[in-house]
Each structure stands twice: as C-alpha cells, then as structure tokens.
A and B are shown apart, each in its own frame.
Chain A
Amino acid sequence: MSSHRKNIFLGLGIAILLALVPLLTKRNDIINIMVLIFLYICLAQSWNILAGYTGQVSLGHAAFFGLGAITTRILWVGGYPFLMAFTTGGLVAVVFALIVGHPALRLRGIYFAIGTLGLAQILKITVGNILPTVADLPGDYIATYNLIPRYYLFLILAVIMVVVVYLVGHSKLGLGMVAVREDEEAAEASGVNPFRQKMISLAISSFFAGLAGGAFAFYQVSYYHDLPFSPTWTFDALLITFVGGVGTIVGPIIGAFFYAIFREFFARAFPELHVFIFGTLFILVVLLLPGGLVEAVSRIRRLIRAKKTDTGFS
C-alpha cells in the first residue's frame, strides 16, 4: 500500500473513532474539551499553512477568526440559514484578507508580523466600540441548544482542514509555498511567483480561520462581539503549532491535544498554580524539542529502531 493511501486510511480511521465519541458518552465536559481541541486544530492548521508552509508569520490571525465569527453570528441570529451564514463568514474573512494582503504581503519578516498584529488590534477595538453589547443567543436558541451538532461541525471542519493542508502540502502549490518559505529570491529565480503563492496561502488560511470563527459563533452561547478578535486566538494558534511542530501536518493536531488536555488537567489538579506549571512545561517542550512534539515522536522512533538493531532484530 502506498504511503499516500496509508495516510488516508489512517486519517479516516481516526475521524471515524472521533465521530463515535458522542455515542459513547453523554458527558458535556468531555464533548466540550473535544470541541475545544477541534477548534484549536482548525485555528492552528489555518495559521500553519501561512506561517509554517509559506513562512509568513502572521500575528493577526484573530482578525480572520473574528470576522468569521461576527458575520456568522449576526446572519444566523438574524434568521438566515446557519450554513449560509457560516460560509459567508469564511468568505468575508477571505475578502478582507485579500484586501489587506495585497499591501501587507509586500512586507517581510518582523514587519509583516507587526503589521498584521496592528491590523487585528484595530479591528478588535473598532468592533468593541461599534458593537459593545453581549452577543448572546436568543432564548429559543438556548432552549434548543445541543452540543452534539457543534461537536460534529467542528470535527468535520477539522477533518476538512487537515485534508486540505495535506493535499496542498503534497501538491505543486505546496512545494511553491515551501520554496518561498526557504528562500524567496531562490524561489523566484526558479520560476515561482512568491507574491502569488503568499496570496493563495493567505486566502486558504483566512478562509479556514473564518470558518473556525463561524463554528465558534455557533458554539459559544454568550460572548462580547470583540472577543473573537482578541490576540489570544492568534497566540493560541501560534503556540499550538510551535509546540506540535511547525510546518508539519500532524504538529498542529498533536499540539492541539497537548494544549487543551494538559491545560485542563493542570487547571483541575492545581487551580492556583496551573498557569505557572503549564507555562514551564511549554518552555521545556520548546527548549528540548525545537521541532515540536513531532520531533519527540521521531526521536522515540529512532530510539526503538536503534534498540532493535542493538538486540539483533531487524
């Protein structure tokens, strides 16, 4: 069996297992943590395609997430079908990304990062001033609120996102993105149009971040309209990707599991010290495993292989 097929079967198997979770438990806390994990996978994977694959470290990812959330929430609560509102949220994020991407992607390195951070902050403050009210769901929406459809929405979105990143990563387009990340001038000399690659990458990234925001608007019962624009969403995506393994497909997935589960575990076990403990663990991971947790997996694999060789097994 080719490795491509193996990967597809493996991914499919995991997705089916995850789809069974709501059938095995009715506990909302477990479903909730899983929802957060899928949300983090979506956020991190969408950030990863721009930063990890194309090398454009954006600190304004929350802007796309927020635009998706605000559009979806307003349209959905306004009476439009959810799927329409949800898709529109993703598209609004893309349109915004393309408008700002045109000038912003001409900036490089730290200038691009700071520029995008500033942009997201401007949006956050503007939304906070224009829509200062609580975005809570109407009473009839709360009365019929059910976590299970939210779970499946996030699961499907996470699966689609992983598949898209996988396909892009294994395509000519993905190779072009990696070439731009490694050396923009060399890529250009090889016939790759760096600006075009960056714009496509930004469009994919912002579309999925917008959809993740839309799913968040469907999930979260009550929040302030400017909450999804908060820089926390950007830094969550960044931390998850780095701790999992930047520029890899499985890195953001492992990172999301690590981030959500350890954070929850420490918050319960050490309510007053958990931030310190979790922060220390994060620093240790970054220091000891610069390639992220994916590197740990590779190291374990190498260790097992070496032991097998030592003991004469092949």
Chain B
Amino acid sequence: MRKISIIAVSGIFLIMGLSSLGLAASTKEAPKTIKVGSSCSLTGPFGSGGAMCKAGYDIAIDDINKKGGVFVKEFNKKIPLELFLLDDESNMTLTVSRMETLYSTNDVVAYLGGFSSPIHAAQAPIAEKNKVPFLMVGTYLYSVHQKGYKYNFSPFPKSPDCAKAVFELLDSIAAGQKPKKAAIFMEKAPVGMELGDMWKSESVKHGYGEPLYRDQPREMKDFSPLIMAAKAEGAEILLTGPTTPEGITMTKQIKELDYNPKFYFAYRAPDPIAWGQALGKDGDYVVLGPGWNSGLKFPGVKELNESHMKKFNRPADVMTGPAYACIQVLAHAIEKAGTLDRAKIRDAIASTNMMTVIGPLTFRPDGTGVVVYFCVQWQKGKQEVIFPKQYATAPFIFPMPKWSER
C-alpha cells in the first residue's frame, strides 16, 4: 500500500509536469500567433536587467500587434507576435532547460536574450543546437561570437566596440589636456579579461603607453591595493568593469583614498539608476557605455519613452531600447523572409540593414551588431550622452573634478 501511494504521488507530479508542457503545434495552416521566446532573468542577481529587457519586448510587441502584427507572405496575412518569457532565476543551468522548453513546447521561431554574459554564454550553444535564431541583448561578450555559430546575433555593443570608443573619446580631448597613463582593474571573468586585453592594446596604440593592469579577483571587497597602486603610478585614466555593488564600494574607496583620476570609465556598474541613488554627487562624472540612452533622437525613441512613462512613470531604461530593437529586427526579418521557417528568418536577420531605436543597424558575419557605441556620463545625477558628438545630449565634462573641489 505504501509503495502504491508513493508511486501515485510521483505519478501525480509527473502527470502535472508533463501535462503542463502542452502539445507542440504541428499544423501547416497560418498560426494564430508568431511565437517568440525568451529565457530572461527576472529574479536573482540579473533580475533588474532582465526586467528592463522584458519591458522593451512587451512595448515593442504591443506596438506591432496594434497594427495587426507582422505580415507573413507565406500566409498572405498579418499575424500578431506572442512572447513566451520564462524566468531563468539568473541560473545558467535553468536557462538551458528554459530554452529547451521554449523550443519544444512553445515552438518558438526565435529566441530573445536577457541580461548578463554568463547567461548568454549558456544560451548561445542551445540556440545553435536547435537552429533557432537568437537575438542577444545585454552582453558585451565577444568571444561567444567567435565560435562559428550561425544563429546568434546581438544588436548590442561588444568588447571591441567599447575598447575602441573609449580611446576615441580620450582622443577627442584637446592636445594639451590629454590625461597620461591608464590604470585598468578588470574582473577575472570572460568579458573582463577580453575587454581588459583590448584596452591594454588600445592604450599603447593611442599613445597612452603600457597601462597599469591589475586583476580584480571575484567577490573583492577591499579595492585599496588596486587604488593605491594606480595612485602611486600617477594613472590619470581609470578603466574598470565591476558589478554595481562592487563599483559603488570601489568609488567610495577611491574617494576615501583621495585618488583623483581625470577620467573614470566603468562598464556595467554605473548603468542602473541605483548608481546615482547610492553615490549621489560622488557618482557624477563617471563615464559608462550602457549601449543605449533614452535621450537619443532616433525614430521611435520618443514613442518608446512615452509608452514606458505610462507603464513605469519614467523614460525607457538602458536595456529597454536594445530589447525593443530586437523585436524590430525580428519583425523586419520575418517580413523579409516571408515565412516562419527558422533558417530563412536567420538568413534575413543576417542581412539586416535598418534604422531602429538604437540607431542604424547591420550585422557582421559573426553575428555582432554594427551599432553606434554611445559613451554616457553621469552629470548632476543624470545620464547624458557625450560621445559620439553628433548624438550628444550634453558636453563631455573633463577632467573629472578632484574630490576636494566638489
């Protein structure tokens, strides 16, 4: 009896699980919706970034569906988009399972990314294995595009874009005022190492000499050895890439140790509004490369901001724009392909050449997007675009004022 009960309980779980998976559609008639899927972190350490992406997808799909959906020539009609978004809990193992669910259960024609490099690193091979076009969002990771994958695309800046843009910004400073010597603190993680190496070579290439390079061990709390080394070397350029909590701690310690770089660039850490809230005035003048800014004047940005304002009472967040652009790219590719065949949609994405809310966009053969890299600076508690100059919403403030003069 006891064993039968155990089997019965296990059976109930199994049946519940299997029935919840539903049955994949196998009809050749026009589908009611075009299914797209995202395994996106809504909880866990990447949850806030994932939520920004979700907002972008929701608004973009609403905008397209209000007009009837995407025209698919194969069925000679417009078909609305339907998003299946599953929370991967910022977990690299769960995200693989979610990607398989989206493929097998929901029969999605394309995957959409989320936020963070580790999650995208786990997702990319699954998209390739299942031959489902994948539009990645919040990741700088370049190496994932160097593996010969055919189905991975990313309308988002990558490490080489960041490395190049930062030194172009420095080159724009008047000759007599240019800062000397760079210090680089980078986390021992794939993005940190690839971007760190690129910054090193760009520093030499642009005449700033061999930089001071320090590994930033994971989960570091005391940055004083790095800061003191940079101060002792007289480094006037600080380039780093901590997480937001680490970046806040690092900045507080930079102030406490009275280290005064003239230029302070951090990728990732200053992106969210939490930076300004936690650091107040001390967070100002830091330069970042979040990939997008709501102050840009590209077609559709104004409407995106209005929709975001209605939903969240603020203009669109930094990840929302690139996520919105993913849907623009996908809808355009489906129309161009005229079919829901994944391989043909993939080919259409590869030949993208269009204007989006993140600006003009094409893809390189490795799937990385040819996108404008915007340098943004915190000024009076607000993020302002400062570079390239034609997109600037405020002038670049250089040098960063000394702590004692603020």
Contact = CB atoms under 8 A, between A and B. Distances in A.
Interface size class, chain B: 35 or more
A132 B217 CA distance: 10
B1 interface: yes
Interface stretch (A112-120, A160-168, A264-272): A264-272
Interface stretch (A23-31, A82-90, A183-191): A23-31
B127 to A, nearest CB: 11
A19 interface: no
Given A136-B147, A220-B96, A275-B89, A29 B129 contact: no
A205 to B, nearest CB: 21
Contacts, number: 150
B82 to A, nearest CB: 14
A253 B188 contact: no
A41 to B, nearest CB: 11
Nearest to A305: B1
Q: How many A residues touch the partner, as a band?
A: 35 or more
A154 B79 CA distance: 42
Contact of A265 (B17, B87, B98, B130): B17
B217 A142 contact: no
Interface in A212-241: 216, 220-224, 226-227, 232
Given A227-B92, A261-B14, A132 B190 contact: yes
Nearest to B117: A134
B14 A257 contact: yes
Interface in A133-161: 133-134, 136-137, 139, 142, 145
Interface of B: 1-3, 5-7, 9-10, 13-14, 16-18, 20-21, 24, 42-43, 85-87, 89, 91-93, 96-98, 100-101, 103-105, 118, 121-122, 124-126, 128-130, 143-144, 147-148, 187-190, 192-193, 215, 217-219
Nearest to B103: A28
B1 A304 contact: yes
Contacts of B96: 32, 220-221
Contacts of B85: 271
Nearest to B215: A129
Nearest to A6: B3
A269 B87 CA distance: 11
Task: Please provide the 9 A-B residue pairs with the shortest distance between their CB atoms, ordered closest to farther.
Answer: A261-B17, A29-B104, A132-B188, A221-B125, A29-B101, A257-B13, A27-B104, A28-B100, A32-B100
Nearest to B2: A301
Contacts of B193: 132-133
Given A29-B100, A300-B5, 13 more contacts: A7-B3, A28-B103, A29-B103, A132-B218, A134-B190, A136-B125, A221-B126, A223-B121, A223-B122, A254-B9, A254-B13, A265-B20, A267-B86
A293 B5 CA distance: 11
Interface string A106-129: 000000000000000000010011
A27 B128 contact: no
Nearest to B19: A265
23 contacts: A10-B3, A10-B7, A14-B7, A28-B100, A28-B103, A28-B130, A30-B104, A32-B96, A36-B93, A132-B187, A136-B125, A220-B92, A221-B126, A223-B92, A224-B92, A224-B121, A226-B218, A254-B13, A267-B86, A267-B87, A275-B89, A301-B2, A305-B1
A268 B42 contact: no
Contacts of B93: 36, 216, 220, 223, 227
B1 A301 contact: yes
Contacts of A222: 92, 121-122, 124-125
B257 to A, nearest CB: 24
A165 B371 CA distance: 57
Contacts of B101: 29, 32, 264, 268
A142 B129 contact: yes
B92 A296 contact: no
B2 A221 contact: no
Contacts of A226: 218
Contacts of A173: none
A297 interface: yes
A125 B121 contact: no
Contacts of A257: 10, 13-14
B42 A272 contact: yes
B10 A134 contact: no
B100 to A, nearest CB: 5
B10 A253 contact: yes
Contacts of A139: 147-148
A124 to B, nearest CB: 9
Nearest to B147: A139
A142 B6 CA distance: 38
Contact of B129 (A10, A221, A301): A221
Given A139-B147, A261-B13, A268 B20 contact: yes
Contacts of A271: 42, 85-87
A298 interface: yes
Contacts of A224: 92, 118, 121, 189-190
Contact of A275 (B43, B192, B218): B43
A143 to B, nearest CB: 9
Contact of B105 (A10, A27, A216, A301): A27
B13 A134 contact: no
A204 B86 CA distance: 37
Interface in A42-65: none
A250 interface: yes
Pick from A36, A254, A264 the residue with the most CB of B within 10 Å.
A264
Contacts of B125: 136-137, 142, 221-222
Contacts of B6: 250, 254, 294, 297
